[in-house]
Structure 1
Amino acid sequence: MNSFFERKYVIQGIILIIALTLIARLFYLQIIDDSYLLSANNNVLRKVIEYPARGVILDRNGEILVQNEPVYDLMVIPKEAKNIDTALLCRLIDIDREGFDKRMKKARDHSPYRASIFEKLIPKETFAVLQEHMDKFNGFYTVDRNIRTYPDSVAAQFLGYILEVTEKDIERSKGFYRSGDYIGASGVERSYEELLRGTRGVKNQMVDALNRPQGSFMEGKYDTLAISGEGLVSSLDKELQLLAEKLMRNKLGSVVAIEPSTGEILTYVSSPSYNPNLMVGRERGNNYMKMLNDPYKPMFNRPIQASYPPGSVFKVVAALTAQQAGVINAQTIFNCPGGYRYGRNAIMRCTHVDGPTDLVKSIQKSCNTYYGYVYAHMLDRRGMPSYKAYDLWRDGLMKFGLGHPLGIDLPGEKGGNVFPSDYYTKNFGSNKWTSSYNISQSIGQGQLGITPLQMANIMAIVANRGFYYRPHLIKGIGEEKIVKKEFTEKIWAGVDAKYYEPVIEGMSRAVSSGTAAASKIPGIEMCGKTGTVQNPHGENHAVFFAFAPRENPKIAIAVFVENAGYGGTWAAPIASMLVEKYIKDTITLPKYIQDRVMNAVILPKVKTKEIKPTVKEKKDSTKNSQNNSTPVKQAAAREKNNKNLLVHHSQIRRNYAQ
């Protein structure tokens, strides 16, 4: 019996020892020795992301505006990064030891056993040297990817830029994007992101315990190919764009040119601009902050976000809507003694005495008095309260595309300002106000705010005698050159075709023998209108709208130069050169005028103050660290700047005739 119990204890002891041995071994393998985990995660099968090339963007003639350039991300598996030549690696990728330690810590925090990005966007020149020494860097390998490059450094605000995705981008995409992916952040890159981005691929690669590639897993059976993004054909004419940007150099303002028959935008200039290549690569973050703090705001997209009083060019819209309303006709005459009197001894002056003036002459001579009378008739003599007549007047402007976004294929478009009657009723204190209360709007001043894109679209409407196509920048998508349906729809502007001819005749005379006579083009009948917009904050703004030729128009254009003075002196010559270049591929404007415009520096003085960094700067060479999110304060500051660009006429008179 005793013998039996002894054998029992011996067997139990043996089983216990075996169990403890197995537990100890498992503990060692799973907790202490990570070689099997590394083998499971990396050394047997490595999934390598293959990034697609973003779609190329061309101009209307097939010239390249944006293409791709190869770069490389250096990846690291922290647990495998042992016995490496740290000094050599730092020297090759241009970082210091502190930068190395910071990157390695970030990689370990992500996962000691899985690959993460150590250094982004290594240029091909650096990569070529790095590859020669990769055998010295256990646990490191490279992944191919592409970045954008801009051969002519043109049309930055139109093209936009890309940024690394944020957590919110990943969440909104429902998992399509992953950390390290890039996304369109502005311009066409953002508007057409889903087409341009393409689809990433995955390559399953076999590697051995020494991290050496051993070929494809299952001969690539489970690999997925990266699919490049769709290419885009833009409506821009690259040569015309380059000339326009050259003419607007060292000036604040915009140039927008449209093909009236299609709504395609030929030229899109926001000045000052910037080199779009600065928003690419390892220095992007530093460049972005410099431009963000530039007092002239080169990243501000003026054609669709700046809002200005249009000045005298607004008289074109006023003349058309007043005819449609039956308030005036081509033969209507008002006498101009040098100004329009209203209220109690108030006067809105003309720059000259025009005497008896009809509709054609009012456009040719840009008569303020004429349009003071037109506005008064529109609001005060229609058999209804002035505030109700004002809303009808406003409805007419809205049909011309004013007071609301036009729907261009760019993000962030503003609609300008055409306030409803309630705005004035609230300010006045009752609805008993009349045209005298906001008479400055009759000549495109006061509270009116119009974007440069809307200005050019007005000229497209006049060129078409009553309709427009929604302005757009992309005329073809993919190999089939697909055009979005919304850009093929004809939109009526609310004024019958018969009312355009006297206005067009006045615009033709304004160029042939009026305020823009110095900018007329031999052999081309250009119809235009100059404007000098009052600016209580500094020098007046120079404006010129035009289309050409008069019959079968090919181009409609708006030029707005801030703080430049007279429209005929600055804006008209710029438009003239661009119109002639586009239609005749030559410029015949006298050389001295070309040189004067080209070399002029028209930049207002600004007060700059030193911006102190919120975080103490260290000598950390994390050069590719990018500011992937826009701070709230910066966004608020930009929005405040946008609003400040709306120049208000400072005098709104409360004295009026009851």
Structure 2
Amino acid sequence: MNQYFERRYIIGGIFITLILILLGRLFYIQIIDDRYALSASKNVIRQYIQYPARGPILDRNGKILVTNELVYDVFVTPKEIKSFDTLEFCKLLGIDRTEFNKRLAKAIKYSPNLQSPFEKQLSPQLYASFQERLSEFPGFRVGPHPIRNYPDSVAAQFLGYIGEVNDNVIAKSGGYYRLGDYIGISGVEKAYETVLRGQRGVKNMMVDSKGVQKGSYANGEYDTLAVAGEKLTSSLDIRLQKLGEKLMKNKVGSIVAIEPSSGEILAFVSSPGYDPNLLVVGHNRSTNYNRLNDNPYKPFLVRPIQANYPPGSSFKPLSALIAMQEGMITPQTTYYCPGYYTAGNRRIACFHGERHGLVTLSSAVAESCNGYFDMVFEKLINRNGPKQTDTTFTLWRNNVAKFGLGGRLGLDLPSEGTGLLPKASRYDKMYHRGGWRSSTVISLGIGQGELSATPLQLANIEATIANHGFYYKPHLIKSIGNREIIKKEYTIKNYVGIDPQYFEPVIDGMQAVVDHGTAAGSKIPGIIMCGKTGTAQNSHGEDHSVFVAFAPRENPKIAIAVVVENAGQGSSWAAPIASFIVEKYLRDSITRRPSGIDPERYMNANLLPDMSRYISQQKRRAQLDSIKKARVDSLKKAAAIQSAAYKNKKPAVSNYLSAIKRKDDE
């Protein structure tokens, strides 16, 4: 009996404990925790992505190259759409019903339950009117989205552009990118995407059954703030960039300027360029992109790192340095130039057949004597006898490669080219092994033949000469955020294997080029500029105008390479343009040259090559493609008919196929 009463108290205690627990939980839910109260009365929680502003990009002096401005996009969640006036909706956004259905189908394909972009970049007026009527269109919402803005519209190929991610990018991102996100497509925007993009945030909002926002969920306790991308400070000098782009207007070519003491790129001009604002994501972006992409002058080609040019005479100082290091010549080595050089059974003329007479190393550089440097090249290649041509050529090539030719310099931009520094195996294939000699490839000694370089590589050679034997890898970004952070590889001296003593006689000749030689017209009063003109042969038209230089001679501050395509001699166009850039950087002004040249003439000149032949070829190619497509379509149709005839046991259509073939042959 006593045991019965004891069990009764135990069971009763258990029930009382459970009741107290349930009452406590109910009190917590109703009084302390407001999550359930907030979800009541048909209210639901929606998560809205908060897009961060991409990091701004500045020039070396803190001037803004790229910033952001706020626009508004329309988003749709297909599952939440209810019946509404579709025609009024389309009228409000300025689209037709077909376009509405196309966009909605795309959103459904992405996810019926997740929001995706429907319309981008509403104007402030349209945003205001649409926001007022938003409750009439359940399933749609408007959200802010920062986009890029380029205040000075310069350096498009350097900065690059952003675009909306595609399915492939989303799949490869491991879940980071979503439909409607933007990503760097080219230039710095691509190279530093992870730094610039920032971190998305999430805002939880309460909305009623009509989709009208009722306030922040839990007072924002579960929201995450968007984190803006970090600021990038570039090495670019916007003063030089603007001047360079003006000077190269209506011309095809490139300007690259480097600070020799650091490898920082001061100017990065690719011409023709374009206004980067044309590729800001929006209504006209696709049209603008197609127009630029179809431009025969190829504005999307990043010429400083992707275009290849024969170095021409700008290569001669490098040849002299290697020859001195290898003991083949001295600064006192002379050569008598009769206006040509004889290599084997070939006679190679100096430029315009000029007779330079007796020249030394320095005077040969100053007067750009082809014969002297042909002689230097043959000494280098023939030193071990003709049977060792392959081996000695490879040694020569290896020495040239130390200056950065024939390979990527490691610039912090995507898609850098290598130029072309031919290997012995190339000539073995062309002439068979043992079937070629120094005279076969003699044009390499004066920067012609199969040799080619990017403008960046040419400028880097000048930085190497300015530094008397080493260079820092060229780069474009000085710091990230407020931290002076650059890659370690950009702080290391890269030696080219030439003793410093051999640079002075070469630099003497380069100074003479500007003081009283081929570039005398570009001499800057009060500044000693050392340079070398080049006239790079071009099999497709007028020769390219090339000029490379550094200044001042003592403690150089700038090294530069200028290429103007189809413009003739280096002294005519490339040298004056380079001199204006150099003086602008050193003095922040441009003085009148004793020769009388001034920047306005070069800014206003139009040297764009005639592209009518190119356009005709493009049209002809398009016609051939159209004919080919028509042929394929006809054959597919015939095959389908034949297949159907076979299945139905009808007569074969071989006569039809024969007729198509005869028509195609005609």
**Contact 1:311/1:443 (8 A) holds in 2:** yes
**Residue 288 of structure 2: aligned partner:** 287
User: Amino acid of the residue matched to residue 357 of structure 2?
Assistant: G
**Residue 67 of structure 1: aligned partner:** 67
Shift of 1:114: 4.1
Structure 1, residues 545-572: CA drift from partner, whole Å, max 9, x if none?
0000000111000000000001101000
Counterpart-to-counterpart distance in 1, 2:125 and 2:527? 52
**Residue 188 of structure 2: aligned partner:** 188
**Residue 346 of structure 1: aligned partner:** 347
2:569 partner SS: coil
Alignment of 1:583-622 (within 5 A): 583-590=586-593, 592-606=597-611, 607-608=614-615, 609=618
Structure 1, residues 252-310: CA drift from partner, whole Å, max 9, x if none?
00000000000000000010011111111222122111111110000001110111110
Pair 1:436-2:447 in alignment: no
Counterpart-to-counterpart distance in 2, 1:389 and 1:577? 41
**Residue 178 of structure 1: aligned partner:** 178
1:299 partner SS: coil
2:266 partner SS: strand
**Residue 246 of structure 2: aligned partner:** 246
**Contact 1:386/1:432 (8 A) holds in 2:** no
TM-score by length of 1: 0.85
Q: 1:397 to 1:133 in 2, by over 3 A?
A: same
**Residue 377 of structure 1: aligned partner:** 379
Q: 1:592 to 1:88 in 2, by over 3 A?
A: farther
**Residue 7 of structure 2: aligned partner:** none
**Residue 630 of structure 2: aligned partner:** none
**Contact 2:117/2:179 (8 A) holds in 1:** no
1:385 partner SS: helix
User: Amino acid of the residue matched to residue 556 of structure 2?
Assistant: P
Counterpart-to-counterpart distance in 1, 2:206 and 2:135? 18
User: Amino acid of the residue matched to residue 287 of structure 2?
Assistant: N
Shift of 1:602: 0.7
240-249 or 216-225: bigger deviation = 216-225
Shift of 1:168: 2.1
Structure 1, residues 323-377: CA drift from partner, whole Å, max 9, x if none?
1111111001111110101122533434311111100001000000000100000
1:309 partner SS: coil
2:332 partner SS: coil
**Residue 133 of structure 1: aligned partner:** 133
**Residue 525 of structure 1: aligned partner:** 528
**Residue 387 of structure 1: aligned partner:** 390
Alignment of 1:475-514 (within 5 A): 475-514=478-517
1:74 partner SS: strand
Counterpart-to-counterpart distance in 2, 1:78 and 1:181? 19
Q: Which has the higher helix share?
A: 2
**Residue 662 of structure 2: aligned partner:** none
**Residue 364 of structure 1: aligned partner:** 366
Structure with bigger gyration radius: 2
Alignment of 1:81-480 (within 5 A): 81-282=81-282, 283-351=284-352, 352-382=354-384, 385-480=388-483
1:289 partner SS: helix
User: Amino acid of the residue matched to residue 453 of structure 1?
Assistant: L
Shift of 1:146: 1.0
Of structures 1 and 2, the one with the larger relative CO (CA 8 A, separation 6+) is 1
Structure 1, residues 28-82: CA drift from partner, whole Å, max 9, x if none?
xxxxxxxxxxx99x95110111111111000000000001111122112335444
Shift of 1:84: 3.2
326-335 or 349-358: bigger deviation = 349-358
Unaligned runs of 5+ in 2: 1-38, 627-666
Q: 1:387 to 1:68 in 2, by over 3 A?
A: same
Moved over 6 A (4+): none
**Contact 2:45/2:217 (8 A) holds in 1:** yes
TM-score by length of 2: 0.84
User: Amino acid of the residue matched to residue 135 of structure 1?
Assistant: S
Shift of 1:174: 1.3
User: Amino acid of the residue matched to residue 65 of structure 2?
Assistant: L
Shift of 1:111: 4.4
User: Amino acid of the residue matched to residue 337 of structure 1?
Assistant: P
Counterpart-to-counterpart distance in 2, 1:462 and 1:123? 54
Alpha-carbon RMSD across the aligned residues, in angstroms, is 2.0
Shift of 1:497: 0.7
Counterpart-to-counterpart distance in 2, 1:244 and 1:151? 17
Counterpart-to-counterpart distance in 2, 1:193 and 1:446? 39
Counterpart-to-counterpart distance in 1, 2:263 and 2:303? 19
User: Amino acid of the residue matched to residue 376 of structure 2?
Assistant: V
